[in-house]
Structure 1
Amino acid sequence: MTLANATRSELTKQFTTSMWWILGIVLFLYVGATAAGLAATFGALANGSLGGEASNTPALPAAALPPVIYSIATAVGYVFPLLIGTLLVTGEFRHKTLTPTFLATPRRGIALGGKLVAGAVMGTLYAGLALVAAVGSGAALLALFGIDTQLTEPATWALIGRMALAFVLWVFIGVGVGTLVRNQIAAVVGVLAFTQFIEPILRTVGGFVDGVSNITRLLPGASSDTLVGASIYTNLGGQAPQGALEWWVGGLLMLGYAAVFLVAGWLVSWRRDVS
């Protein structure tokens, strides 16, 4: 079987189940609600709508608001492409469909390659949903408060392009995790525990302890923020943090994580016999 046929098979598996659109709906609502809420809050602070002393010291300057609000798509939504990439592989182990997959595609490298290409398609789809939710709701609320949405600026569209790339890379990391950790429950719990608890705690500690930030900024979520170039977690001061890495470094770090997981999964799990 060719890579094109393997990819077509993987996409058929994805779109014949309900998981992809359930996660898509949750992603859209979650990102849209978060972006709208933050845009309304910071927009009201920036133009003085809330009144009082708070209006004189907005959490973010008006000019810095659009990229931070739009980047909510990746800042809070990255766990969804990571999960879909993980499920793309672990679902085969859980439902014992990997045997017919390998029978149809005996060359396991092509089988894994098909999952990566299919994952890139799914990542692009999820990126579209997240960007429509974040940019659509965020821009609408910012405009309502009289703040320039910056949608006519090339830098904004470059930001959007990098967010789409980040989604694809997160799927690749998820495929690598699923390849390495065969048990679906263990893989999903591990992904959620790391992204929602472990890394946020480490990055919070890094913000207060000297020297730790040099390590925490290399973590997957921080690398994603670096690639995008904006994040609610790193730009609360209205500018990039001191010593911030270039965006392409973040992309290489994410690609490195994906490669490490994929190679480890290939050596430890993917080549093993299945029943």
Structure 2
Amino acid sequence: MTTTVERPAIPRAGTPGLRLIHSEIYKIFSTNTWWLFGIASLVISGLALWANLAEANYRLDEALNPMPFEAPEGMPPEDLAQMQAQWAADHDVHAQVIQAAGGIYTSGQFFGLLLVFLLTALIMTNEFQYQTATATFLTTPRRTRVIVGKLIAGVSLAMLFWFVTEAIDIISGLLFFNAKGVGNGLDEWSVQRAILFNALAYLMWAILGVGLGTLIRSQIGSIVTCMVVYLVGFAGTILVFQLIHEYLIKRDWVLTAAVSMPPIASQIMISPTKLYEEAATWWVGVLVMLAWSVVAGGIGVLLTRRRDIS
């Protein structure tokens, strides 16, 4: 009589989801890509911070040491009133502090978001570039879990980029405003909102990047597409909507509708003041970015579940 002895199950250490996230984070930090992008982000943020500090210094000096308003002779009353209002706005110290603080505390975010967009797209395309996708999905057959792990890893990296650049921006801003002898603007909701939604913008562009990486497997193709979507999309959206407004539909809502595109929406949501006169309010930009992020994440999961991986 043969006795069958069952071997005891050996428990695997850790929670499966956490192991997967740890694995995805390890993949990111095992390459040189992340720190090259990190250095680029610091350099770009530093240049943007320097430019914003220089502009803020100029504007605050004008506001703190105003020259007497001199009305040009023979100017129509309507134009004179508009000029006086603009002069008053330019010499309103509190308003200038808020505007300067919003720019200084979010310095470098325009190109920082682009770098995060590119980096998170590479998180997915690297699997196909180095032909590790098959091993990844064999190890974790539930593809949805893999995509979620990559999303969390990408968002974590984006938040790291945001935190480092934001810390530098805030410390530099506090030193600058203290030296100028004015408030630092951190007690204003519009400035706080700009900082918080700047973090949200990093998170959302990270999700968009992973979604794009699942849609376009080619590494070069995804990089080119990211550049086109972000840079050409920003300038092109403004140009297209201005042309429509100028030659087809002469309504202000046409210019407001530019918020429908992610590059414009993310700029609108973090701006402490209106990005331009006809711009949508900040919360519309938030809703648009949320919608694009949900769509990108959903498409990424669906495509990865249905595609053959070889």
One-letter amino acid of the counterpart of residue 40, structure 2:
V
Using the TM superposition, give the Cα deviation of residue 36 of structure 1 relative to its aligned residue in structure 2, in angstroms: 1.8
Instruction: Give the TM-score, by structure 1 length.
Output: 0.84
Work out whether 1:214 is the aligned partner of 2:250: no
How many residue pairs end up in the alignment? Answer: 267
Residue 27 (structure 2) aligned to one of 4, 10, 13: 13
Work out whether 1:148 is the aligned partner of 2:190: no
Question: Counterparts of 1:106-125 in structure 2 under 5 Å?
Answer: 106-125=141-160
Work out whether 1:190 is the aligned partner of 2:225: yes
Q: Secondary structure at the match of 1:61?
A: helix
Preserved CA contact (<8 Å) 2:98 2:272: no
Preserved CA contact (<8 Å) 1:89 1:178: yes
Q: Secondary structure at the match of 1:230?
A: coil
Q: Secondary structure at the match of 2:146?
A: helix
Instruction: Give the TM-score, by structure 2 length.
Output: 0.75
Alpha-carbon distance between aligned partners in 1 of 2:59 and 2:19, rounded to the nearest angstrom: 53
How many percent identity over aligned positions? 27
Q: Which runs of 5+ in 1 are unaligned?
A: none
Question: Counterparts of 1:108-257 in structure 2 under 5 Å?
Answer: 108-153=143-188, 155-204=190-239, 206=241, 209=245, 210-211=250-251, 212-230=254-272, 235=275, 241-242=277-278, 244-247=280-283, 249-257=284-292
Higher relative contact order (CA 8 A, sep 6+): 1
Using the TM superposition, give the Cα deviation of residue 180 of structure 1 relative to its aligned residue in structure 2, in angstroms: 0.8
Partner of 2:294: 259
Using the TM superposition, give the Cα deviation of residue 242 of structure 1 relative to its aligned residue in structure 2, in angstroms: 4.2
Preserved CA contact (<8 Å) 1:31 1:77: yes
Cα distance change of structure 1 residues 220 and 100 upon mapping to structure 2, 3 Å threshold: same
Q: Secondary structure at the match of 1:148?
A: coil
One-letter amino acid of the counterpart of residue 290, structure 2:
L
Alpha-carbon distance between aligned partners in 1 of 2:177 and 2:50, rounded to the nearest angstrom: 9
Alpha-carbon distance between aligned partners in 2 of 1:62 and 1:227, rounded to the nearest angstrom: 19
One-letter amino acid of the counterpart of residue 270, structure 2:
V
Using the TM superposition, give the Cα deviation of residue 263 of structure 1 relative to its aligned residue in structure 2, in angstroms: 2.9
Cα distance change of structure 1 residues 3 and 251 upon mapping to structure 2, 3 Å threshold: farther
One-letter amino acid of the counterpart of residue 281, structure 2:
L
Q: Which runs of 5+ in 2 are unaligned?
A: 1-14, 68-85
One-letter amino acid of the counterpart of residue 261, structure 1:
A
> 1:38-97: CA deviations, max 9, x gaps?
221232233139x998xx965983442111332334334211211121011111111111
Residue 59 (structure 2) aligned to one of 45, 50, 56: 45
Preserved CA contact (<8 Å) 1:67 1:230: yes
Partner of 2:9: none
Preserved CA contact (<8 Å) 1:73 1:131: no
Alpha-carbon distance between aligned partners in 2 of 1:177 and 1:207, rounded to the nearest angstrom: 28
Preserved CA contact (<8 Å) 1:66 1:139: no
Cα distance change of structure 1 residues 254 and 19 upon mapping to structure 2, 3 Å threshold: same
Q: Cα RMSD over matched residues? A: 3.0
Q: Secondary structure at the match of 1:47?
A: helix
